[in-house]
Structure 1
Amino acid sequence: MQTDIHTHTTFSDGSDLSAMIDAAETAGLDALGLTDHCIVTDDAFGRRATYDLVKTYEQRREAVDAAREETTLTLYDAAEVSYVASEADAIREFLSTADFEYTIGSVHFADQYDYTANAQYAEAEDETCRAAVERYYDAVVELVESELFDVLGHLDLPERLPTLRGFSIPDDYERVAAALADSRTVPEINAGRVNRSLNRVHPDPGMIASFSNHGIKFVLGTDSHRPDEIVTRVPALEAVVDRSTIDIIEFDSLLS
Structure 2
Amino acid sequence: MRDFHLHSNYSDGEFLEAMVEAAEVAGLEGIGFADHCNVAPREHTVTMRSRYGFNLDLTYERRRRAIEGLCEEASIEIYDAVEMDYDPQDEAAIRDFLETAAFDYTIGSVHTVDGRNVQVPSNFRGRNDADLNGVVAAYFDRLVELVESELFDVAGHVDLIARTPPLRGRATDEQYRRVARAFADSRTVPEINAGRALTDAGIVHPNESFLEELRAFDVPVTVGTDAHRPAEVTDRAEFLREFLDECGIDPVGPPGLELEKR
The 3-state SS of whatever aligns with 1:149 is: coil
> Could you tell me which amino acid in structure 2 is paired with residue 255 of structure 1?
L
**Mapped pair 1:18 → 2:11:** no
Kindly tell me the number of residue pairs found equivalent between the two proteins.
253
TM-score, normalised by the number of residues in structure 2: 0.92
- 1-side partners of 2:210 and 2:61: how far apart? 39
Aligned to 1:232: 235
**Mapped pair 1:86 → 2:89:** yes
Tell me: higher relative CO, structure 1 or 2? Use CA pairs within 8 A at least 6 residues apart.
2
Structure 1 position 253, deviation (Å): 4.9
- 1-side partners of 2:212 and 2:244: how far apart? 14
Aligned to 2:256: 254
- 2-side partners of 1:22 and 1:206: how far apart? 35
Structure 1 position 39, deviation (Å): 1.0
**Contact 1:201/1:237 (CA < 8 Å) preserved in 2?**
no
Structure 1 position 198, deviation (Å): 2.6
Identity %: 43
* Deviation string, structure 1 residues 61-115 (Cα, Å, up to 9, x no partner): 0100111111111100100000010010010001011111100000011324321
Aligned to 1:241: 244
In structure 2, relative to structure 1, the CA distance for the partners of 1:171 and 1:154 (3 Å cut) is same
Aligned counterparts, 1:76-115, within 5 A: 76-115=79-118
In structure 2, relative to structure 1, the CA distance for the partners of 1:164 and 1:252 (3 Å cut) is closer
**Mapped pair 1:151 → 2:154:** yes
Structure 1 position 252, deviation (Å): 6.6
**Mapped pair 1:65 → 2:68:** yes
Aligned to 1:48: 49
- 2-side partners of 1:92 and 1:197: how far apart? 38
Q: Please point out which of 188, 195, 204 is paired with 1:192.
A: 195
- 2-side partners of 1:252 and 1:157: how far apart? 20
Structure 1 position 199, deviation (Å): 1.4
Which structure 1 residue ranges, 4+ long, deviate > 4 Å from structure 2? none
The 3-state SS of whatever aligns with 1:243 is: helix
In structure 2, relative to structure 1, the CA distance for the partners of 1:160 and 1:197 (3 Å cut) is farther
- 2-side partners of 1:138 and 1:68: how far apart? 39
> Could you tell me which amino acid in structure 2 is paired with residue 85 of structure 1?
P
Q: Please point out which of 117, 120, 123 is paired with 2:123.
A: 120
Aligned counterparts, 1:157-172, within 5 A: 157-172=160-175
**Mapped pair 1:4 → 2:6:** no
Structure 1 position 10, deviation (Å): 2.7
**Contact 1:188/1:219 (CA < 8 Å) preserved in 2?**
yes
TM-score, normalised by the number of residues in structure 1: 0.94
Where does the alignment leave 5 or more consecutive residues of structure 1 unmatched?
none
RMSD of aligned C-alpha atoms? 1.7
The 3-state SS of whatever aligns with 1:155 is: coil
- 2-side partners of 1:186 and 1:15: how far apart? 27
Structure 1 position 54, deviation (Å): 1.5
